[in-house]
Amino acid sequence: MNVQEEAEKLKQQWNQFFEEAKKPCQCIFCNCMKLFWNGRRERTASVLIGDQTVHLIDIVCRRIKCFQCKKSWTIRPEGLMPGRHYQLCVITHAASRFLFDSDATLSKVADIYKCARRTVGRWLKWIADIAKPSELICRLFAISKKSMNPVEKVKDVENKIAHTGAQFFKRAARNFLILQALAKAMGYPANGFQSMVESAIFNRVGITTYGDPFIPELAR
């Protein structure tokens, strides 16, 4: 099966979720149990199929609304993240390539993953601010019960920091590596960073690569 066929298969799975989605039991804002369907919205998403970034359009998602507080939100299939066009599979691979490939630059990574140079920088800033490295280390120690140092490769970004002045690269690298180690300690699949973040933010609202990205669940 080629890249386009795989992409179409994923889109069909997401659209099938639209047809089969069940109404939640209660409002995510006020816990009211009286909800009603509130139309639909169409999404776009760029996903990683093999080693290629593929742009999907017309992904249909259901909207739901609370009778009491009048707030509404989108019911999304697994793997389709809130508030972002580029999905975590793309962000994970792009961030890893930039942070741990000594020859990678923001421009080179942007070309590979079909996005803007500033977009890659925004992803890295988001990863840097997603949690406090010290809190993630504490959680890792609590789970593994032994001293671990998953951040040895952080030194690889020193030249990039010197070249760009972006001090948050080091924090992004630390968070990425600690979350990878956490995922391994917790028995997640090999793509640990992506799995950890997906499990923490699935079906949450207001999580984007802009503003305040802090996800305290990652350190609990």
pLDDT surpassing 50 at residue 210: no
pTM of the model: 0.85
With 0-12 / 13-18 / 19 or more C-beta atoms within 10 angstroms meaning exposed / middle / buried, residue 105 is middle
CB 72 within 8 A of CB 92: no
Q: Is the pLDDT of residue 10 over 60?
A: yes
pLDDT of 66 > 50? The answer is yes
Q: In the predicted model, is pLDDT for residue 220 greater than 90?
A: no
Q: Which two tokens stand for residue 181?
A: 């180690």
Residue boundaries of the structural domains of the chain: 3-75, 88-219
Q: Which residue has the higher pLDDT, 220 or 66?
A: 66
Determine the pLDDT at residue 132.
85
Tell me what pLDDT residue 60 has: 92
**What residues form DSSP beta bridges with 48?**
53
Which are the contacts of 149, defined by CB distance < 8 A and separation ≥ 6?
none
Please say whether the dihedral angle defined by the alpha carbons of residues 115, 105, 129 and 100, taken in this order, is positive or negative: positive
pLDDT at 207 over 60: no
Instruction: Give residue 106's pLDDT band: very low, low, confident or very high (50, 70, 90).
Output: very high
Q: Distance between CA 195 and CA 31 in Å, rounded? A: 27
Q: Which of 155, 147, 139, 117 is nearest to 200 (CA)?
A: 139
Contact 75, 62 (CB under 8 A): yes
Q: Cα(220)–Cα(218) distance, rounded to whole angstroms?
A: 6
90 vs 153: CA distance, rounded Å: 21
Q: What is the pLDDT of residue 32?
A: 94
Residue 96 structure tokens: 């890893």
Quote the pLDDT of residue 40: 92
Highest mean pLDDT among 61-65, 135-139, 202-206: 61-65
Residue 193's SS3 state is: helix
The least confident of 68-77, 147-156, 168-177, 194-203 is 147-156
Q: What is the mean pLDDT of the chain?
A: 84
**Angstrom distance (rounded) from CA 195 to CA 199:** 6
